Structure 1
Amino acid sequence: MLPADMVGGVSATRAANLEASGEALTTFMKRVDGVLRDLESSAGNPTKVSAQTIRAGSLNSGTQGDFPEAHGLYEQYHAVHEKLTSLSKTLHLQIEAIGIAVQGAHKGFDALEEDQRRRFWEIQTEIDKLQPKKSSASGGDGTDVKA
């Protein structure tokens, strides 16, 4: 049995504590904007990360037979580089989306400008495209399902 002061599974006291003041949201939004500016000017910027590549010929003649270890190193470097580039871009997009969401929480999502609402959903779509597709053989938690 739920206590009398519980509404929707949360007590009225706890619900009041969850409400964010406009000042707190504004402070948080400024911090998110600062993090986004820092990321854009850092080496973690998605454009800068994606530009830091090496060619296969930098490690060997470009053929696997001459020096297979160098070819394996290149393959691993390339795989890690792709993942870092994707992670950097996803992080950048998530921070931008958080900034828009905080503004929406402060003003109400309907009160946001049309461009901001559209950009928020564009970001969500772009993030979905960047996320690796889950295979049917995966348990959803990173573990493989054994048949």
Structure 2
Amino acid sequence: MLPADMVGGVSTARAVNLEVTGEALSTFVKRVDGILSDLEGSPGNPKRVGSQTIKPGSLAGDPSAFPEAQDLYAQYNQVHEKLTSLSKALHLQIEAIGIAVRGAHVGFDNLEEEQRRRFWAIQTQIQESQAAGDGKQRAQGDNTTGDL
């Protein structure tokens, strides 16, 4: 049984702490926009991270003569792929947070149709990416031991 002062699973005292002013939301939106702008201008930009690859031809010589180099190359590519994926996901999450904060400020129904559509497109893209990542882990046998 819930205490008398709880409404919807949140106590009245805590509900007051959840109230946000328009000014606080505007400040938060500016911070999120700033972070997104910084990310796009940084080496962590998904496009920049994705372009930093090593070509197989960089490893000259017979692969059987130096198998460690081939193993290192394979690990580098695996880590690079994960970093690229994480960078894209971070970029999308920050963009979605910015839209959600604007929606919290003015009401989601009052957002421009394009912003609402973009928000749901981001959510779908993130879910698909997570599902694809889960499928890859299962296909690889869930090797989570950290062996290199």
TM-score interval for Structure 1 and Structure 2 normalised by the shorter chain? 0.7 to 0.9
Q: Distance in 1 between matches of 2:125 and 2:94?
A: 13
Q: Distance in 2 between matches of 1:88 and 1:2?
A: 42
Taking only aligned residues, the RMSD between alpha carbons, in angstroms, comes to 2.1
Question: How big is the shift at 1:125?
Answer: 1.4
Q: Distance in 2 between matches of 1:4 and 1:76?
A: 57
Is the CA contact 1:60–1:70 (under 8 Å) kept in the aligned structure 2? no
What's 1:88 paired with? Answer: 87
Q: TM-score, normalising length from structure 2?
A: 0.85
Identity %: 67
SS of the residue corresponding to residue 133 of structure 1 reads helix
Give the helix-richer structure, 1 or 2. Answer: 2
Unmatched runs of 5 consecutive residues or more in structure 2 = none
What's 1:37 paired with? Answer: 37
Q: TM-score, normalising length from structure 1?
A: 0.86
Question: How big is the shift at 1:14?
Answer: 1.6
Question: How big is the shift at 1:10?
Answer: 1.8
What's 2:129 paired with? Answer: 130
Inter-CA distance 2–128: structure 2 relative to 1 (3 Å threshold): closer
**1:45-85 alpha-carbon deviations (Å, 9 max, x no partner):** 00000000011121234x53232111111000000000000
Is the CA contact 1:25–1:102 (under 8 Å) kept in the aligned structure 2? yes
Q: Give the count of matched residue pairs.
A: 139
**1:71-100 alpha-carbon deviations (Å, 9 max, x no partner):** 111000000000000000000000000000
Unmatched runs of 5 consecutive residues or more in structure 1 = none
**Greater shift after overlay, 8-17 or 112-121?**
8-17
